[in-house]
Amino acid sequence: AQSVTQLGSHVSVSEGALVLLRCNYSSSVPPYLFWYVQYPNQGLQLLLKYTSAATLVKGINGFEAEFKKSETSFHLTKPSAHMSDAAEYFCAVTEAYSGAGSYQLTFGKGTKLSVIP
């Protein structure tokens, strides 16, 4: 069975500082990995996804994530935080060989990012 652990339910950074949101996964087969973002009072939207091509994945709004198989991690980073980055971020995992008709996407519990001016 697959699972996702997001370390830290709340993270605070100063504006302009590095953003690092941690995600570790477990999966018995090669995974697909996703980061979604949820702004206040909105649904989730995709930031980026890893599907076994390049291990460093670039997403929207300057975010990127690196797939590290040896560490079973997919941490999300952004070099310089902006006030508009304040949101909740969710890591998710699914198995690369999910059969047609099945559904196995698992979300982490989320990390709320606060940006301090």
Partner 1 sequence: NAGVTQTPKFRVLKTGQSMTLLCAQDMNHEYMYWYRQDPGMGLRLIHYSVGEGTTAKGEVPDGYNVSRLKKQNFLLGLESAAPSQTSVYFCASSKSSGANVLTFGAGSRLTVL
Q: How far is the CB of 20 from partner 1 (least distance, A)?
A: 19
Contact of 95 with 104, CB cutoff 8 Å:
yes
39-42 contacts, C-beta under 8 A, 24 or more apart:
39/87, 40/87
Q: One symbol per residue from 15 to 54: x for binding partner 1 (CB under 8 A), - otherwise; what is it?
A: -----------------x-x-x----xxxxxx--x-x---
Q: Which is nearer to partner 1, 55 or 80 (CB)?
A: 55
Given 28, 70, 100, 117, the residue binding partner 1 (CB under 8 A): 100
Given 90, 93, 113, 115, the residue binding partner 1 (CB under 8 A): 90
* CB count in 10 Å sphere of residue 16: 11
Q: How far is the CB of 17 from partner 1 (least distance, A)?
A: 25
Rounded to an integer, what is the distance from CA 106 to the centroid of its chain? 12
67 binds partner 1 per the rule CB under 8 A: no
* Residue from 59, 44, 51, 57 nearest 89 by CA: 44
* CB count in 10 Å sphere of residue 89: 23
Q: Which is nearer to partner 1, 56 or 100 (CB)?
A: 100
Given 23, 108, 113, 115, the residue binding partner 1 (CB under 8 A): 108
